[in-house]
A and B are shown apart, each in its own frame.
Chain A
Amino acid sequence: MSVLYRFWPRSKLARREALAFYVFIAPWLIGFLAFTLYPMLASAYYSLTVYNVVQMKFVGLENFKELLRDDKFYWSLWVTAKYTLVSVPLGIAAALAVAVLLNQRVPFLSFWRTIYYLPSIITGVAVAILWQWVLNPEYGVFNYLVFKPITDKILTPLGLEPPSWFPPRWFWSETWVIPAYWIMGLWGIGGSMVVYLAGLQGVPTTLYEAAEIDGATAWQRFWKITIPMISPVILFTLITNLIGALQMFTQAYVISNGLGGPNNASLLYVLYLFLNGFRWFRMGYASALAWVLFVIIITLTLLMLRVSRNLVYYESPGA
């Protein structure tokens, strides 16, 4: 009791305010306990069991040992890495490039911003359906607009034979299915772009003017002023996009009919986890997979925060 006594404020007014605080945050607090904390603990326990919703058997670290022997586990990690390591940097670079271009006093700014943001509204299943059709190897418009001209206008006149993978078969091909997801991701850069644009607009113009008087080139101004000034925003999008990419699920599930095909080439980590949990009802094993993902995410996030400590510039004092 004495602990609580010291913890709780003494003045009546402060006590009332503290009580009000807990009443106001009660919805979240209850929700946190019931739908986050409890599931977290339960999931940690499930990961030590063999569980199929009906029967549960405690097996200790058996799931984690099995995981180390599971080829598909390593494979799904590799597929996810292949997707994430390209799509995240590519998306950030493209979003930044568009934002910088838009920031050059381009006329009709809000019109262009609207267009670039448009794909970000169409998310989920509709995007999956749309891109399946756009990248359709037989009737899709992408190969027709990109690869046919390359064959007809460049390779054929030069007397070159198009390589055997030409044009790519995208979602139907083991090699090209992940690059297809990169392209799809690139289409949705609007969200990050809008954030960067707002960040760029917040950079004081006096900095550029001063640099210009000192004789800095446009390239130097970009790397020495623009990038440092918006580095907190870049770090933020980097972390959120990375966490999002590691959990990519919906499109891959819809496009591969929940199989991760062709031949497991798009078996992303969370897709494999979902199949374990809800198709094969190996809930214990799926929970073990989930915790491994959690550890990966935490490690990467902390690593990025650590590494970026000397790279990111915060304007506010004390940071």
Chain B
Amino acid sequence: MSGEAIARKTVVRIESIRIRGGVWQSKKFLTRLTQVVSTVLIAIGAVIILIPVAWMFSTSLKTKFTVTSFPPDFIPREAQKVQINGKSLFLYDVEIDGEIRTLAAVKLDPEKSEFVDPEHPDRVYYAPASKAKKHQVVVAHWENYKEVWTFATTPFGTFMKNTAIYATVAVIGELLSCSLVAYGFARLRAPGKNFLFMLLLGTMMLPWAVTMIPSYVLFTKYIPDILNRLFGADIRLADTWWPLMVPKFFGSAYLIFLIRQFYMGINKEYDDAARIDGCGFFQTWLRIIVPMSQPVLTAVAILSFQWHWNDYMGPLIYLSSTRKLPLSVGLANFSEAYGGTPWHLMMAASLIAVGPLILIFFALNRYFVQGVVISGIKG
């Protein structure tokens, strides 16, 4: 096709757009329409996402009687009782002569229920039961959040403390080890490096189910045996936190990879300048690289904290005594201790349990997202 023909065709197309297009077909209008529709859909989705959380929160403020009320109510409400002549009676909203009054029910009957005015017990009213509805008052039982801590056989405070210690130690261990190892992989040249890096990536594919059983045997049998033979002591590692905490100081493939990706993006001239100024490799890492990597290190710290705060499998395998358990396992055992499921307390306990994570999330939202993005995009 000649250039002229193409030009003519283009002109025709542009003109046809101009002629056909009303306001509703203009580009600006369509963009705006997409934007509005998207926002509405996103908002609906957000409400759906939040419903379970709202339901969790509302349940946590109810009592064991009102959690099972039907229909489910997002606002914690309950019926009220009053003492009249030594009897405790339920309050009802009764329609009497077209007027709603709050009265105490003496006798309920489909035809002729008997009510009295709580203020003046001598005033008696009669109405069919269909005209009466239980008088409900919004009551938030904040004391549930207190009861969780003192509840029965489960020392919630101890669980919390154990989890906090575990998560903190894990963050320190992984931050230290991973940032060191990542520096090696990002900056230093050595024979065998590529092979080792492939190995590191390969371990990310390995299911934990494969290493779980031998690790358990290693920590509960072989390591204590060796230690006891060497030192003549009587060390037991089953039902201790050691098997869970020690490996954290030996790095985690995924986090090493994450940090390494970030280090790779730092201009190498900074390193060179430091070297010229007489810094060794360790100094360069500590003084130059680490301070410049604050975003990725924060992201890694958050990820690590989150994983270990929630870790269930590890503690489930290694720990057995109640006072050593973390929140995750303690929470799962909660209903056994109560006999039946105390949904209101479970929800309060779960919310307290995830509380620190949510606080950190809102405080450091930026880094959270960043961590996920680095891992996903550059993967």
Q: Are the CB atoms of A198 and B377 closer together than 8 Å? A: yes
**A275 close to B (CB within 8 Å):** no
Question: A28 contacts which of B74, B200, B353 (Cβ < 8 Å)?
Answer: B200
A74 interfacial by beta-carbon distance below 8 Å: no
Known: A139-B68, A195-B377. A134 touches B207 (CB 8 A): no
Judged by a CB distance under 8 angstroms, whether A219 is at the interface is: no
The residues in A between 255 and 306 inclusive whose CB is less than 8 angstroms from any CB of B are 270, 273-274, 277-278, 283, 286-287, 289-291, 293-294, 297-298, 301
What is the CA–CA distance of A134 and B50 in the complex, to the nearest angstrom? 12
A93 to chain B, nearest CB (A): 14
A7 to B191, CA, bound (A): 7
Given the contacts A116-B46, A202-B377, A129 and B354 also touching, CB distance less than 8 Å: no
**Which chain A residue has the least Cβ–Cβ distance from B74?**
A141
Task: Determine which of B31, B180, B306 lies in contact with A27 in the assembled complex, contact meaning CB atoms within 8 Å.
Answer: B180
B112 contacts partner chain A, Cβ-Cβ < 8 Å: no
A104 at the interface (CB under 8 A from B): yes
Using A28-B177, A104-B38 as known contacts, say yes or no to A43 and B210 having CB atoms under 8 A apart.
Answer: yes
Report Cα–Cα, A148/B70, bound state, in Å: 12
With A18-B190, A40-B210 known to touch, is A121 a contact of B354 (CB < 8 Å)?
Answer: yes
Which of A84-92, A107-115, A163-171, A174-182 lies at the interface? A107-115
How many whole Å from B346's CB to the nearest CB in chain A? 5
B72 touches A43 (CB 8 A): no
User: Please, what's the 1-or-0 string for A239-264, where 1 marks a CB less than 8 Å from any CB in chain B?
Assistant: 01001001101100110000000000
Q: Does A39 contact B (CB under 8 A)?
A: yes
Quick one: which of A8, A17, A125, A283 has the most chain B CB within 10 A? A125
Take A36-B203, A39-B210, A133-B346 as given contacts and tell me if A118 and B217 are in contact as well, using a CB distance cutoff of 8 Å.
no
Collect the chain B residues with CB atoms within 8 Å of residue A140's CB: 72
How long is the Cα–Cα vector from A133 to B45 in the complex, in angstroms?
Answer: 21
Instruction: Kindly provide the distance from the CB of B367 to the nearest chain A CB, expressed in whole angstroms.
Output: 12
* A106 touching B52, Cβ below 8 Å: no
**In the complex, what residues of A have CB within 8 A of residue B350's CB?**
125-126, 129-130
Are A43 and B213 in contact, with the CB atoms below 8 A? yes
The answer to whether B203 touches A24 (Cβ under 8 A) is no
Contact A124 B190 (CB under 8 A): no
B256 an interface residue at 8 Å Cβ cutoff? yes
Shortest Cβ distance from A215 into B: residue: B13
Instruction: Mark interface residues in B178-200 (1 if CB within 8 Å of A CB, else 0).
Output: 10110111001111110010011
A34 touches B184 (CB 8 A): no
B250 CB within 8 Å of chain A: yes
Contact A125 B312 (CB under 8 A): yes
Given the known interface contacts A43-B214, A270-B209, the answer about A126 and B353 at a Cβ–Cβ threshold of 8 Å is yes
**In the assembled complex, which residues on chain A have CB atoms less than 8 Å from the CB atom of B181?**
24-25, 27-28
Residues of chain A within 8 A (CB-CB) of B189 are: 14, 17-18, 21
- Tell me which of B218, B350, B365 has the highest count of chain A C-beta atoms within 10 A of its own C-beta: B350
With A43-B210, A121-B357 known as contacts, the answer to whether A106 contacts B35 (CB < 8 A) is: yes
User: Once the chains bind, are B209 and A290 in contact (CB under 8 Å)?
Assistant: yes
Q: Does B1 contact A (CB under 8 A)?
A: no
Tell me the complex Cα distance, A187–B46, Å.
Answer: 11
Is B88 close to A, CB under 8 A? no
Residues of B within 8 A of A198 (CB): 373, 376-377
Which residues does chain B contribute within 8 Å of A294, judged by CB atoms?
206-207, 209-210
Pick the most buried of A30, A36, A107, A236: most chain B CB atoms within 10 A of its CB.
A36
Note all chain A residues with C-beta closer than 8 A to B13. Answer: 215
Asked if B91 is at the interface (CB within 8 A of a chain A CB), the reply is no
Interface of A is mostly: helix
Chain B interface residue count, Cβ-Cβ cutoff 8 angstroms: 98
Question: Residue A131 at the B interface, CB < 8 A?
Answer: yes
Q: Using Cβ atoms and an 8 Å threshold, which residues of chain B touch A66? A: none
**B369 engages A194 (CB within 8 Å):** yes
Q: Given the complex, which residues of B lie within 8 Å of A126, measured CB to CB?
A: 310, 331, 350, 353-354
B53 and chain A: residue at smallest CB distance: A118
Q: A98–B31 Cα gap in the complex (Å)?
A: 17
Complex Cα spacing A218 to B34, Å: 11
The reply to whether B218 and A38 form a contact with Cβ atoms under 8 Å apart is: yes
- Does A53 lie within 8 Å of B221, measured CB to CB? yes
Residues of the A chain whose Cβ atoms lie less than 8 Å from the Cβ of B67: 139
**Nearest A-chain residue to B352, judged by Cβ:** A126
Q: Determine which residue in B41, B74, B190, B217 has the highest number of CB atoms from chain A within 10 A of its CB, and name it.
A: B190
Chain A residues with CB below 8 A from B285, complex form: 24
**Is there contact, CB below 8 Å, between B46 and A195?**
no
Q: Which of B41, B205, B209, B217 contacts A101 (CB 8 A)?
A: B41
Known: A35-B215, A35-B250, A46-B214. Contact between A290 and B38, CB under 8 A? no
A293 to B207, CA, bound (A): 8
17 contacts between A and B (CB under 8 A): A18-B189, A31-B250, A32-B250, A53-B221, A104-B34, A107-B39, A115-B46, A117-B369, A125-B327, A125-B329, A139-B343, A140-B72, A199-B377, A233-B377, A254-B332, A283-B217, A294-B207
6 smallest beta-carbon distances between A and B, as pairs: A31-B250, A195-B376, A24-B184, A124-B310, A21-B190, A18-B190
Which residue numbers of A lie inside 8 Å of B, CB to CB?
7-9, 14, 17-25, 27-32, 34-36, 38-40, 42-43, 46, 53, 98, 101-102, 104-107, 110, 112-119, 121-126, 128-131, 133-134, 138-141, 144-145, 148, 187, 191-192, 194-195, 198-199, 202, 215, 218, 233, 236-237, 240, 243, 246-247, 249-250, 253-254, 270, 273-274, 277-278, 283, 286-287, 289-291, 293-294, 297-298, 301
